[in-house]
């Protein structure tokens, strides 16, 4: 492959294994006019666009027309995530990150509470959810807010249809969420699933699998790919939860030109700055609240509250209002924490600079 023969900058390694030596047409890995339009003609001839398909703390794996390469991450590079398009120069070095068409983000699990990018340039998100005790409307609404915030199209994929006695009991619960929400129920182990989900697995289209551990994201990925590419494992019998089998995000080309992104089951999906995504997810509540008597109605005990009236009439679930309020509070709180952290980081940076210039002055004296 041409890229291997090129001289490399000292700090930028390109390693290739035999398995990765395949090259791809850009259309087969999600390239679109919106990305091409970001390149000047000169850039198109000098640099090659490559797609980020895997990442670790220190390096990322990219694929493109000339094959596959790994790029060591440097502090000077922008934050990158699986799905990104990157321009690589003739020496195999990083030049530029292209603007993203969509971007999924959350607050990282654990104490850090930093914002974490999950994936980018995804067209459709399969919100994968088992048809068993692990089914949760609250969780599906949480994922919907994330997907709408990212700017992608959600499809709810209900798995383990073969093990479920009455699929309608579950799908009926999804109907009030949105009349336009697309819901498909599948047996991930059955090749027929490929047919059911084919409208979203088309050329230049990128699909991400989101959902909790054990929902069947990797099983679905394997069936759509037609090969056992991803590791899968049995769920726990008692609570139907998974064993966190997938530990890294992988963007995998599918025959026919779609890209599938398998992700690890999320233990926690905390949202921040997602008012818009939540507004779309709960647009019925927004429409109702415009009919409340008071503009600032909190939909509690206020008189003439259209939201409470809808709950009393049985046209809006009380659960849905509670989840909406919970997600709004959470995203506000997380957004405030993030802003505080950013401000204190900025201040620390200023203090550090001040300290450095002070010590330089001291030395000069």
Ligand X SMILES: Nc1nc2c(ncn2[C@@H]2O[C@H](COP(=O)(O)OP(=O)(O)OP(=O)(O)O)[C@@H](O)[C@H]2O)c(=O)[nH]1
| Binding residues vs Mg ion (CB under 5 A) | 217-218, 245-246
Of Zn ion, Mg ion, ligand X, none, which one does residue 107 interact with (CB within 5 to 8 Å by kind)?
none
Going by C-alpha positions, the residue among 188, 250, 244 that lies closest to residue 219 is: 188
Q: Establish if 2 lies at the interface with ligand X (CB under 6 A).
A: no
Q: Establish if 215 lies at the interface with ligand X (CB under 6 A).
A: yes
Q: Establish if 269 lies at the interface with ligand X (CB under 6 A).
A: no
Number of neighbouring beta carbons within 10 Å of residue 96: 17
Cα(365)–Cα(356) distance, integer angstroms: 15
Out of 181, 264, 302, 306, the residue judged to bind ligand X by CB under 6 A? 264
Cβ at position 246, least distance to Mg ion in Å: 3
Cα(126)–Cα(156) distance, integer angstroms: 6
- Region near ligand X per CB under 6 A, out of 60-68, 214-222, 304-312, 328-336: 214-222
Judged by the rule CB under 5 A, the positions of this chain that interact with Zn ion are 292, 297, 299, 305, 307
Cα(49)–Cα(27) distance, integer angstroms: 11
Out of 100, 105, 142, 217, the residue judged to bind ligand X by CB under 6 A? 217
Site for ligand X in 180-209 (CB under 6 A): 187-189
Cβ at position 137, least distance to ligand X in Å: 19
Q: Establish if 101 lies at the interface with ligand X (CB under 6 A).
A: no
Of ligand X, Zn ion, Mg ion, none, which one does residue 159 interact with (CB within 5 to 8 Å by kind)?
ligand X
> What angle do helix axes 137-150 and 318-364 make, rounded to 10 degrees?
50
- Region near ligand X per CB under 6 A, out of 16-24, 232-240, 285-293, 348-356: 232-240
Going by C-alpha positions, the residue among 198, 210, 335, 334 that lies closest to residue 261 is: 210
Q: According to the 3-state scheme, what is the secondary structure of 194-245?
A: HHHCHHHCCCCCEEEEECCCCCCHHHHHHHHHCCCCCCCCCCCCCCCCCCCC
Cα(313)–Cα(197) distance, integer angstroms: 37
Footprint of ligand X (CB under 6 A) = 159-160, 162-163, 187-189, 211, 213-219, 232-235, 242-246, 264-265
């Amino acid at each position: 492959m041409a890229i291997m023969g090129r001289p490399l900058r000292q700090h930028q390694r390109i390693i290739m294994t035999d398995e990765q030596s395949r090259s791809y047409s850009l259309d087969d890995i999600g390239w679109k006019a919106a990305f091409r339009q970001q390149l000047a003609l000169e850039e198109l001839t000098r640099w090659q666009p490559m797609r980020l398909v895997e990442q670790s703390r220190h390096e990322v794996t990219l694929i493109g027309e000339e094959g596959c390469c790994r790029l060591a991450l440097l502090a000077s590079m922008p934050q990158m995530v699986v799905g990104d398009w990157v321009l690589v120069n003739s020496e195999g070095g990083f030049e530029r990150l292209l603007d993203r068409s969509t971007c999924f983000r959350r607050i990282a699990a654990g104490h850090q509470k930093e914002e974490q990018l999950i994936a980018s340039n995804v067209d459709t998100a399969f919100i994968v959810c088992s048809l068993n005790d692990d089914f949760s409307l609250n969780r599906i609404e949480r994922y919907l807010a994330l997907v709408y915030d990212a700017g992608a199209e959600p499809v709810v994929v209900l798995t383990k249809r073969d093990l479920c006695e009455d699929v309608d009991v579950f799908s009926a619960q999804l109907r009030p969420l949105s009349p336009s929400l697309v819901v498909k129920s599948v047996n991930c182990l059955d090749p027929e699933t490929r047919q059911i989900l084919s409208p979203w697995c088309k050329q230049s289209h990128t699909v991400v699998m989101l959902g909790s551990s054990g929902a069947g994201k990797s099983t679905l990925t394997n069936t759509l790919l037609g090969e056992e590419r991803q590791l899968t494992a049995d769920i726990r019998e008692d609570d139907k939860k998974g064993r966190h089998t997938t530990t890294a995000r992988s963007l995998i080309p599918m025959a026919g030109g779609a890209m599938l992104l398998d992700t690890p089951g999320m233990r926690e999906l905390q949202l921040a700055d997602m008012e818009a995504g939540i507004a779309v997810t709960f647009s019925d509540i927004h429409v109702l609240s415009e009919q409340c008597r008071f503009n600032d109605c909190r939909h509690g005990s206020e008189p003439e509250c259209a939201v409470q009236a809808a709950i009393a009439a049985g046209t809006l679930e009380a659960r849905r209002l509670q989840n909406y309020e919970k997600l709004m509070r959470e995203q506000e709180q997380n957004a405030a924490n993030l802003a505080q952290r950013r401000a204190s980081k900025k201040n620390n940076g200023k203090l550090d600079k001040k300290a450095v210039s002070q010590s330089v002055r001291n030395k000069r004296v």
